[in-house]
Amino acid sequence: MKPSLWGLKKSPWVYHVALSPCNNCDIEILDVLTPKFDVERFGIKLVGSPRHADALLVTGAINRHVLPRFKELYEQTAKPCVVFAIGSCALSSTMFRDSYNIVGPLEEVMKEIDPNAIIAYVPGCPAKPEAIIAGVVKALNAL
């Protein structure tokens, strides 16, 4: 295993990217950090800058206004960086796919930004805290 991947698997630091979500997956992400689930026990920490992040937690159907900002943000992260698509909106745009302002699900957006990006998917509307934890564990085991 590459040292960079080995380092990534131990206590990943995450950065939360909200790309026009409805706030719900975002509060569930915060929920994972608070006493009931408390993933900080395992060294998973929410950081304030993408430059410190090992993983990006992306929520929301992506609209035209935030897309250039997301591109910039992804370029700032240290590679390899796992991108988690959290919630149905990030997975498939769900009911917003017909909207005039939505550019599409994360997978298609990432094809343009970085075709080799590692993407993990956590479904649910909103994704439950249990599902988020299970998704992170599965993704890290698969690396």
Partner 1 sequence: MKTVVVPLGPFHPLLEEAEYFKLFVEGETVVDMDLKVGYMHRGIEKLCESKTFDQVPFVVERICGICSTSHPLAYVNAVEDLLGVEIPERAKYIRTIIAELERIHSHLLWMGLAGHFIGYDTVFMWAWRYREPVLDLFELISGNRNHYAMMNVGGVRRDIKEDDYGQILSTLDEVRGGTELFIGAVMDDPVIHARTKGIGVLTPEDARAYGTLGPTVRGSGIPDDIRRDDPYAAYDMIEWDICTYEGGDVFAKTAVRLLETVEATNIIRRCVEQMRPGPICADVQTIPAGEGLGHAEAPRGEVLHYVRSDGSSRPVRHKVRAPSLMNIPSFKVTCIGEKIADAALITAAVDPCYCCTERTAAVEKGSDKAVLTGGDLVEMSRRKTAQIRNDLGCVPPVEKLVRGIMAR
| Residues engaged in binding partner 1 (CB under 8 A) | 16, 18, 20-28, 30-31, 34-36, 48-49, 59-61, 63, 65-66, 69, 95-96, 98-102, 125-126, 128
Q: How far is the CB of 1 from partner 1 (least distance, A)?
A: 32
Extended strands (E) in the chain = 13-18, 45-46, 55-59, 62-63, 82-86, 102-104, 118-122
Rounded distance between C-alpha atoms, residue 107 and residue 27, angstroms: 23
Q: How far is the CB of 34 from partner 1 (least distance, A)?
A: 4
Q: How far is the CB of 86 from partner 1 (least distance, A)?
A: 12
Q: Which is nearer to partner 1, 4 or 49 (CB)?
A: 49
Q: Which is nearer to partner 1, 30 or 137 (CB)?
A: 30
Q: How far is the CB of 51 from partner 1 (least distance, A)?
A: 11
Q: Which is nearer to partner 1, 89 or 118 (CB)?
A: 89
DSSP character for 114?
Answer: -
47 contact partners, CB below 8 Å, separation of at least 6: 13, 14, 15, 53
For residue 86, give the 3-state DSSP assignment. strand
Identity at 115, one-letter amino acid code = P
Q: Which is nearer to partner 1, 22 or 143 (CB)?
A: 22
